[in-house]
């Protein structure tokens, strides 16, 4: 019998009600839909939902979550989304980073650089800023050097399975915006006004370093 993926709340209960089915307690058992009726359709309480691709489960689920490998015979199927009247819960999947192909563990607990204690940058940090300047130069038609660029750079780093990024020439498999991510994780967020780079740090986003572009 074919295997599928099912997402539930962190405590194991279904997302739909939060109290009807506990998939963690159901490991090794057959789970049946309490009000099973395929005639109600796929997007209804008449079936239990699971997917062939774990990322398709987020239609109806969200993070944080727990994940399970199940097997069963779907009575309704649309694209990768399937509806079951019953399913057997085989096991819980704990390595969700590998399952989804992105950094789930960091997505649910992202780094906020402004919560890191205010500090002065080191020579290594300044080298990262200069590297980020060179990256910014190659994509400046599409970015403005704002704090939002740092946010997007950090967000992109959570998807390591993307090997080639648009709008910038880079070696495949190497994340081109990593210098900005490294600064972010160190507690520094760069901004640029067209001439001066600034590094902000701490809960008040204090400017702790400035660098003239001509010195990059």
Encode the chain in three state secondary structure: CCEEEEEECCCCECCCCCCCCECCCCCCCEEECCCCCHHHCCCCCCCEEEECCHHHHHCCCCCCCEEEEEECCCCEEECCEEEECEEEEEEEECCHHHHHCCCHHHHCCCCCHHHCCCCCCCHHHHHHHHHHHHHHHHHCCCCCCCHHHHHHHHHHCCCCCCCCCCCCCCCCCCCCCHHHHHHHHHCCEEEECCCEEEEEECCCCEEEEEEEHHHC
Classify residue 103 by burial, with Cβ atoms within 10 Å: 0-12, 13-18, 19+.
Answer: middle
Per-residue model confidence as pLDDT tens digits over 50-67: 999 999 999 889 999 999
Q: Is it the case that residue 143 has pLDDT exceeding 60?
A: no
What is the structure's pLDDT at 138?
76
The pLDDT mean for the chain works out to: 92
84 pairs with which residues across the strands?
A: 48
Instruction: Using pLDDT thresholds of 50, 70 and 90, give the confidence band for residue 6.
Output: very high
Euclidean distance between CA atoms 177 and 122, whole angstroms: 20
Per-residue model confidence as pLDDT tens digits over 84-133: 999 999 999 999 999 999 999 999 999 999 999 999 999 999 999 999 99
Per-residue model confidence as pLDDT tens digits over 148-169: 889 999 999 999 999 999 888 8
Joined tokens for residue 172: 């495949």
What is the structure's pLDDT at 158?
96
Lowest average pLDDT, out of 78-87, 131-140, 189-198, goes to 131-140
What is the structure's pLDDT at 144?
53
CB 120 within 8 A of CB 209: yes
45 versus 27: which is more confidently predicted? 27
What is the structure's pLDDT at 141?
53
Comparing CA positions, the residue from 40, 37, 14 lying closest to residue 86 is 37
């Amino acid at each position: 019998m074919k295997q599928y993926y099912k997402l539930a709340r962190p405590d194991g209960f279904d997302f739909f009600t939060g109290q009807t089915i506990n998939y963690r307690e159901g490991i090794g058992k057959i789970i049946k839909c309490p009000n099973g009726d395929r005639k109600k359709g796929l997007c209804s309480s008449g079936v239990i939902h699971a997917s062939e691709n774990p990322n398709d489960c987020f239609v109806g689920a969200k993070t944080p979550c727990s994940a399970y490998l199940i097997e069963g015979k779907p009575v309704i199927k649309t694209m990768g989304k399937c509806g079951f009247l019953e399913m057997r819960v085989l096991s819980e999947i704990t390595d969700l980073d590998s399952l989804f192909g992105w950094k789930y563990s960091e997505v649910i607990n992202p780094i906020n650089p402004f919560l890191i204690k205010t500090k002065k940058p080191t020579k290594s940090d300044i080298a990262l800023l200069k590297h980020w300047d060179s990256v910014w130069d190659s994509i400046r038609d599409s970015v403005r050097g704002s704090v939002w660029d740092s946010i997007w750079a950090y967000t992109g780093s959570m998807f390591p399975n993307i090997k080639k990024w648009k709008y910038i020439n880079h070696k495949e498999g190497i994340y081109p915006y990593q210098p900005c991510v490294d600064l972010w994780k160190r507690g520094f967020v760069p901004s640029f006004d067209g001439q001066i780079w600034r590094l902000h740090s701490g809960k008040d986003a204090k400017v702790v370093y400035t660098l003239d572009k001509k010195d990059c």
